[in-house]
Structure 1
Amino acid sequence: MNNWIEVARLQDIPPLGSRVVRTPGGDVALFRTTDDKVYAVRDHCPHKGGPLSQGIVHGQAVTCPLHNWVIELDSGQARAPDEGTVACFAVEVREGAVWLALA
């Protein structure tokens, strides 16, 4: 069962930017795309643990600031030739508020 919590306002996350939410299970990075979609992934690159929240958002992906791994925000999968996955979380925008589901 998911535990939904309100974590931000959409306007607080810049387009092509991110915000970090501290949770009991670790930091979660929220990303906003240019079309106002919001994604939530563990703020930890599967390669060397780099902070994805400090990466560059492009399209529906983020590039890790440490070694340029590209992570798909909808699946958490690293783009080939790299391999690895980061945990993704359900997120919804309701009336301008961003809600995060923690399992």
Structure 2
Amino acid sequence: MTPEWLDIGAAVDIPLRGARTVPVEGGEEIAVFRTGSNRIYALVNRCPHKKGPLSQGIVHGDSVACPLHNWVISLATGEATGADVGCTPTIPVQVISGRVLICRSSMLERAA
């Protein structure tokens, strides 16, 4: 099955070192992050620890710190770093001509 890509907007509309969220009907919202080096990542918007909203965390390098208990989550893998253990589902993302596209089928599967 060919992936279906959903255009969620311009990359420049995502704050530098910040995030925006995408609602998922019948599932959990997705957080789309833009790093200081303009890399784009997408994760289910919940920390694996206490389900904190990662979109409200501080982005540093290719990681985000959960606003609840400061767990650091890799934006590339969704894995907690350091001594913490847990994983947040990642969503395939691509940027084409400055537009951010996320994989709709993965978004629905992983956010359910």
TM range (shorter): over 0.9
Q: How many residues align?
A: 103
Q: Give CA deviations for 1:14-65 in whole Å, capped at 9, x if unaligned.
A: 1101000011332000000111110000001000000000000000000000
List aligned pairs for 1:26-41, cutoff 5 A: 26-41=28-43
In structure 1, list runs of 5 or more residues that go unmatched. none
In structure 2, list runs of 5 or more residues that go unmatched. 107-112
List aligned pairs for 1:1-103, cutoff 5 A: 1=1, 2-24=3-25, 25-102=27-104, 103=106
Structure with greater strand share of residues: 1
> RMSD across aligned C-alpha pairs, in angstroms?
0.9
TM-score by length of 2: 0.88
- Deviation, 1:82, is 0.4
Structure with greater helix share of residues: 2
- Deviation, 1:3, is 2.1
**Which residue of structure 1 aligns with residue 109 of structure 2?**
none
1:21 partner amino acid = V
